[in-house]
Each structure stands twice: as structure tokens, then as C-alpha cells.
Chain A
Amino acid sequence: GDSVTQMEGPVTLSEEAFLTINCTYTATGYPSLFWYVQYPGEGLQLLLKATKADDKGSNKGFEATYRKETTSFHLEKGSVQVSDSAVYFCALSPSNAGKSTFGDGTTLTVKP
């Protein structure tokens, strides 16, 4: 079945540091890929998405590129802020269904 593997956390960075959170997936066909973010005390919200190979999703300074050859969708940000502290989830949805499979999340803490 489908699966998503994220780098284990927690990740602690200083403000303005570079962020990478690794995500790899296993799926048949051509799934859509997503990053969701969960801020403290809030529900999950979509951060960015990519629907086909080589697509780059971007939002709020975050980027991720759909790499089919390496089955990866790594999340990056050039300069993190304290307000980016949250739990980040990588997810996929099969091309023919809405059901999403989520990774276990990576907790990011950014210190001033």
C-alpha cells in the first residue's frame, strides 16, 4: 500500500537558518503530494502541493519539488522564523482517489 516516510524530529534551528525536512513516498501511479502544517493549538492546514513530476510547490517562503525518480518531496526554506515553529506533515493522494496517506510529522522549533 501507499506510505510516506519523513525524517524524524524534533528539529531545532536558530532563526534565519536553512531548513530541510526530508520526505519520501511509496505509491503506485502518479500521486499528488502535499505538505501540511499544524501550528500549536490549531488544526492542520495545507502549506503547499504538487500534482505531477518536476512540479514545484511554494508558499510562505517554503518550497518542495516533486521528484519522481527519487520518490521524494523534500520541504525547504531558506531562512526560518520563530513563527515557523510547528509540526510539518508530508502526505500523498492517489491519482484516482481523495484518500490521503500522511507521514508521522516532523516537529520544528525555531529559536530566536
Chain B
Amino acid sequence: EAGVAQSPRYKIIEKRQSVAFWCNPISGHATLYWYQQILGQGPKLLIQFQNNGVVDDSQLPKDRFSAERLKGVDSTLKIQPAKLEDSAVYLCASSPGTSVYEQYFGPGTRLTVT
């Protein structure tokens, strides 16, 4: 079974530029998550999708971050404009949406904003 795929793996941009990350979850997984992991900290949930609907985006900085999950499969996370404090690893995870929500993580995208 293929795991969660993410691209790119690394990205370096200047502040005020825009960037987009892509995620392809495990086939058949209804729930998709985007996390931000700052160095030395645990992952922090940005947004959770159930199929193509948003379940929780309470910690998403909506003035600069946006995410979509078209057709309930792939998802993109965008930052525009980026700030220095956005430097982090962006993790995508998926889960089948059964009663115990163990999550399967992708390798992450390491973003550096200069």
C-alpha cells in the first residue's frame, strides 16, 4: 500500500513570496490533515478535511494560508505572502476515518523563508 505522498520535499523562498504544497493521501482515506511543525516542537494542526469538506480550520492563519481538497482526494496548502515565522516542516496526514483516529504521515515539506 502506497503511503502519503508530499511534494516538494524542500522549498526556500523569500518573505512575501507565495508557495504551495501538495499532498496525496493513502487511497480510500476520507480524512486529511495539514500540520505545521516548527523546529523543536510537536506538530500543530492547521486544517482537517473530511472528504472535501473542512472539519476544523480554527488554527489556520486565514489571512495568509489557504487549503483545498478537490474531489476529496489530493490537497494543496498555500501560503501567500510568506513570513519568516512560517519556516517549518509542513506535514500531511490521512486516516481512514474509523473510530480510532490513528494517522498516517507523509515525509513532510521543509520550508525555509529568508
Residues on A facing B (Cβ under 8 Å): 4, 32, 34, 36, 42-46, 49, 51, 89, 91, 93, 97-105
Contacts and interface: CB of A to CB of B under 8 A. Distances in A.
The 4 A-B residue pairs with the shortest CB-CB distance in the complex, in nearest-first order:
A102-B42, A98-B101, A44-B105, A43-B105
A36 B42 CA distance: 11
A91 B103 CA distance: 11
Query: Which secondary structure dominates where chain A touches chain B?
Result: strand
B91 A97 contact: no
B31 A102 contact: no
Interface of B: 4, 31, 33, 40-45, 48, 55-56, 91, 93, 95, 97, 100-108
Given A44-B91, A46-B102, A98-B101, A104 B45 contact: no
Which of B48, B97, B101, B106 is the most central at the interface, judged by chain A CB atoms within 10 Å of its CB? Answer: B101
Contacts of B106: 43
